[in-house]
Chain A
Amino acid sequence: MIPPAFDYVRPDTLEEAVRVLAEAGEEAKVLAGGQSLLPLLRLRLAFPELVVDVGRIPGLRGVREDGDTLVIGALTTHHDVVHDPLVRRYAGLLAQATETVADPAVRHRGTLGGSLAHADPAGDLPAVALALDAELVAVGPGGRRSVPAGEFFADYLQTALAPDELLVEVRVPEREGWGFRYEKFHRVSQSWAMVGVAALVRRADGRIAEARIGLTNMGPTPLRATAAEQALAGAADPGAVARAAGSAAEGTRPSRDASASPEYRAHLARVLTERAVLAAAGTG
């Protein structure tokens, strides 16, 4: 199908982008890699009057270190995230999960910022951002502000970003010595996650000292499996992990769709949490 007509601007600077967005208000859509927006346009599920192509704004792409924080530009493509040595070293969970997003060609164009700002609950990266305790930095007419991932995802496809704000970078605390695992459950390789579990585990003295668990597609937003995280602290054997994982679906609101019922999703969340945590505990 054919996208509807729209006006198009390609600002050269961040300031210009923010100004254009502020002028256009709700009628504008931000285009980064386009891998979420273009299918929506082609199916005529979105009718923006203006598309603001931020893809060439300098300085928003790439990964650097700021003290003990990893700073990933919002325009960094999935492909570059997967292959980046800093990400692999300090945020292996992100690299692993990103490698499961869509397919190689989509990963060449799609961006980390775009995925987070699109906030699809079936998308893999929002739950990972939660688990990693990422901070999302936005720039708007009022300047820069930093939003913790836990406050960023407001509702289905809704974020804390104002229409005139642009996500510019993702700040991830560096974690060394944490085990990680992204367990993605889907029916075919390129399809969205039916359920995904992003697990980070820190071990000490032969026990799980701390676990952080993000859940994909267990509600209108990505969620933390808080009850399971608490129960996991101190777990020393697979039996304890299994018992703790039993509470992984607590507080979730999984949807019903053609591929799964809420009950099945809840079941998967428990099984996958157990598997992710056991795997993460082994990779630490």
Chain B
Amino acid sequence: MTHISVTVDGTVYEDEVEPRLLLVHYLRDRLGLTGTPVGCDTSNCGACTVELDGMSVKSCTVLAVQADGGEVTTVQGLARDGAWTPLQRAFHERHALQCGYCTPGMIMAARDLLRENPHPTSGEVRQALEGNLCRCTGYQNIVRAVLAAAEETTGETAGQDSAAGDGASGRRTASGQEVTA
């Protein structure tokens, strides 16, 4: 067993875990944070995508021990006081989900894209979501939703979607600078 300390959606957890425990199983089975689902065993589907230290990762392909000392944001940590982020709103308004199983991962991957590229083209959105599979929507409305969320977060509110779930702590941008949300 290995001791870990992980902040998940703003709460600090201290646990003893088997080194082989996958981060996604830690979230689901130990912390009861079942909003992040598992869709495959080869890191292809992206359903389990969460944010670790400010970057999207596939939580089925990260050991819990690797997240020690880190900060994890899941889909359950995005909404603030019941207010959805622009991406969550856009997914709803553009009918970007059907069964909803891929949705947490899609939203987390899209959030990652918009942080790096606040004004993507539809082609860039499609490319950025290459690691997230959906079997229901044919992706068209997902692309529309991400573009709509980008539209909504232009100008001074750019990055709002990313900021919404980051808590008060700093996060790392692509260039490695510390910024405070």
Contacts and interface: CB of A to CB of B under 8 A. Distances in A.
Do A and B have CB atoms closer than 8 angstroms in the complex? yes
Which interface class (under 10, 10 to 19, 20 to 34, 35 or more) fits A?
A: 20 to 34
B109 interface: yes
A2 to B, nearest CB: 8
A38 B61 contact: yes
Contact of B66 (A3, A53, A189): A53
A190 B130 CA distance: 6
Interface string B88-121: 0000000000000000000001001100000000
A104 B131 contact: yes
A106 B41 contact: no
Contacts of A55: 66
B20 A5 contact: yes
B11 interface: no
A109 interface: yes
A38 B48 CA distance: 14
Interface string B110-142: 001100000000000001101110000000000
B63 interface: yes
A138 interface: no
Interface residues of B, number: 32
B7 interface: no
B46 A105 contact: yes
A282 interface: no
Nearest to B20: A3
Given A8-B2, A38-B43, A3 B22 contact: yes
A108 B19 contact: no
A104 B61 contact: no
A6 B61 contact: no
B60 A34 contact: no
B65 interface: yes
Interface in A87-129: 102-106, 108-109
Contacts of B49: 105
A42 B65 contact: no
Given A34-B61, A105-B57, A41 B113 contact: no
Given A104-B109, A105-B49, A190-B130, A5 B18 contact: yes
B171 interface: no
A42 B57 contact: no
Contact of A41 (B20, B66, B132, B176): B20
B123 to A, nearest CB: 11
A8 B19 CA distance: 6
Contacts of A202: none
Contacts of A190: 44, 130-131
A189 B19 contact: no
A51 B2 CA distance: 13
B19 A105 contact: no
A19 interface: no
Interface string B31-71: 00000000001111010010000011110111101100000
24 contacts: A1-B41, A2-B20, A8-B19, A8-B20, A8-B65, A31-B66, A35-B43, A35-B61, A38-B22, A38-B60, A39-B42, A42-B22, A42-B60, A53-B66, A80-B176, A104-B56, A104-B131, A105-B58, A105-B109, A105-B112, A106-B43, A108-B56, A109-B57, A109-B62
Interface of A: 1-8, 10, 31, 34-35, 38-39, 41-43, 51, 53, 55, 79-80, 83, 102-106, 108-109, 189-190
The 10 closest A-B pairs by CB, nearest first: A103-B131, A8-B19, A189-B130, A108-B55, A3-B20, A105-B56, A38-B61, A1-B41, A103-B130, A190-B130
Interface of B: 2, 18-20, 22, 41-44, 46, 49, 55-58, 60-63, 65-66, 109, 112-113, 127-128, 130-132, 174-176
